[in-house]
Amino acid sequence: MGKLDGRVVLVTGAARGQGEQEARLFAAEGAKVVLADVLDEQGRAVAKELGADVARYVHLDVGEEADWPAAIAAAKEAFGSLDGLVNNAGILRARPLVDTPLQEFVEVCRVNQLGTFLGMRAAAPELIAAGGGTIVNTSSVAALSGFLLLSSYSASKAAVLAMTRVAALELASKGVRVNAMCPGAIDTPMTDPVASGSSTGPAAPAGPADPAERAGAAERAAAFYRKAVPMGRIGRPEEIARLALYLTAEDSSYATGQHFVADGGWIAGVPLGS
């Protein structure tokens, strides 16, 4: 018996990273999973590995309103219903406030904030029709504490928290629970210093091309997390997947409208003496 036996859950941003681990864990716990992403080749590969009886892939740009009905329809066509949504898809851009172009700010909010809104709005009627369900939104510790260079990201993730609370209030009487996760830095392509160019966590614009420089950037990032995070390391995507499982399963049956922090103690307080 799995914790999600009989459940049908759509996970956005599921082609890699945190979303991929959520999809894999949910499938292992008995769920039928719809993996949604814009990275079609990678997403299809993960779904194929999980098996057609367990998983389907659908192309979904979460910030495009017209993409959502097709994703919902794909879930229902494949597995008969939809009773869970994990709004995982997100992007991060790091830049000083005064240097942030308007279009970059808008694009971050389009994916992170608008994508979450559109997902909840599209999924809620299906969850209600299924007799109840769960929505798990991915916010961030950047919504709870200030982080240098993350104006657009922080704004979008704070909005996710606000929308989570409103949705929880509106949907509780209809059997739908809505909660948010607030991860710290997690070891995914979004926070990879080689991919993002950041040498000290979520920070810089363009990654080094030289292998030695790439290795150096990775080590500087690791050193940063050893110092900044009380637990001494960056988080792992499977750790956030387990939190998403908790909020989707009956283990959290009396929790709604809340945010759950998983950051290794990063925003717990000032580590005096460090």
Kindly state the tokens that stand for 214.
Answer: 């790439």
DSSP at 59? E
Question: pTM of whole model > 0.75?
Answer: yes
pLDDT of res. 216? 87
pLDDT of res. 1? 86
Sequential DSSP letters for 31-50: -EEEEEES-HHHHHHHHHHH
pLDDT of res. 274? 55
**Distance between start and end Cα atoms, the chain:** 45
User: b or e along 143-171 (b: 16 or more beta carbons within 10 Å of the residue's beta carbon)?
Assistant: bbeebebbbbbbbbbbbbbebbbebbeeb
Active site residues: 153
pLDDT of res. 194? 54
Kindly state the tokens that stand for 270.
Answer: 């000032």
pLDDT of res. 218? 87
Task: In whole angstroms, give the CA distance from residue 168 to residue 125.
Answer: 14
One-letter amino acid of 238: E
CA atoms within 13 A on the CB side of 235: 24
Please give the chain's pLDDT, 274 residues, in tens. 899 999 999 999 999 999 999 999 999 999 999 999 999 999 999 999 999 999 999 999 999 999 999 999 999 999 999 999 999 999 999 999 999 999 999 999 999 999 999 999 999 999 999 999 999 999 999 999 999 999 999 999 999 999 999 999 999 999 999 999 999 999 999 987 555 433 333 433 345 567 888 788 889 999 999 999 999 999 999 999 999 999 999 999 999 999 999 999 999 998 776 5
Kindly state the tokens that stand for 231.
Answer: 């637990």
Task: In whole angstroms, give the CA distance from residue 274 to residue 227.
Answer: 8
Q: Which segments of the chain does DSSP mark as H helices, in order?
A: 17-28, 40-50, 67-79, 102-109, 115-129, 151-171, 193-196, 211-228, 237-248
Q: How far is CA 6 from CA 26, 31, 50, 82, 272, in A?
A: 11, 6, 16, 10, 48
Domains in the chain (CATH in brackets) are 8-186+237-262 (3.40.50.720), 192-233 (no CATH)
User: b or e along 212-246 (b: 16 or more beta carbons within 10 Å of the residue's beta carbon)?
Assistant: eebeebeeebeebbeebbeeeebbebeebbebbbb
